[in-house]
Amino acid sequence: MADDKFASSRAFDAMNPRGLAAKREYVRALERRRDPEAISLLVECLCDESGYLRDLAQQAFERMGDEAAPLLLPLLDQGLWFTRTSAAGILGKLGHRGAVPALVRLAEDKNRTVVDAASESLVAIGRRGGSFRIAHVLHRLAPDLRRRRLDDLARRDAVLAGRVTRMLESEELMTLEDDGALADDSPKVRSGAEGVEWEVLTGSPPPPDATRADPGHGGRRAS
């Protein structure tokens, strides 16, 4: 009976407005500090059982940007499912290309929520200039695993999957050395992309008469 009362008390405390406000202020204080200890404590928040605290820490990391990404990478290969999910979500929103190898591994996780988070993060990174990085990593996988990841990518973003597939077909691109530093618009990637369709690196090409707008749609013809 005492245990039941204790459990009820903990549940009440977790939803208590004062408790929520305290968690909010705690995370904000850590974000403002941004020193190594504070960032380490924010990482611990991602491992907490409180979903509210994890959400606060995730938002803080997203605002902080790429500086804390290296500390998040180890979380993709360890910890509980919700920690792996949170870390994957942050790295995807940051477009952190260095996370692609770990995210590709994580997309084979036994937990469906983790798999979805890893796969969506790969899509997010690909959309933010990481198509080449994804292709570079997939190129080094076993053919069956590469096919699985391409099929999953196609289900989530067919355009991105098409870009990655065409990059995979470029021997010059696939022989470049890359640890995540090369974005789609990097000079090395562009110079190695000769013969690959223009839209691979920049999205769909503009229509031939892009300089001319239809007067019937509020535009004007170029003089």
Please report the DSSP string for 26-57 in residue order. HHHHHHHH-SHHHHHHHHHHHTSS-HHHHHHH
Question: Per-residue pLDDT for 216 more than 60?
Answer: no
Q: Are 71 and 40 in contact (CB under 8 A)?
A: yes
Q: 60-64, 66-70, 90-94: which range is least confident on average?
A: 66-70
The rounded mean pLDDT for the chain is 83
Question: Per-residue pLDDT for 211 more than 50?
Answer: no
pLDDT in tens, 79-128: 799 999 999 999 999 999 999 999 999 999 999 999 999 999 999 999 99
Residue ranges and CATH numbers for the domains of the chain are: 14-94 (1.25.10), 96-202 (no CATH)
Residues 202, 146: Cα–Cα separation, whole Å: 24
Q: What is the pLDDT of residue 192?
A: 72
What percent of the chain is modeled with pLDDT above 90? 73
Q: What is the pLDDT of residue 78?
A: 84
Highest mean pLDDT among 17-26, 64-73, 160-169, 210-219: 160-169
Among positive and negative, which fits the CA dihedral 69, 70, 76, 78? negative
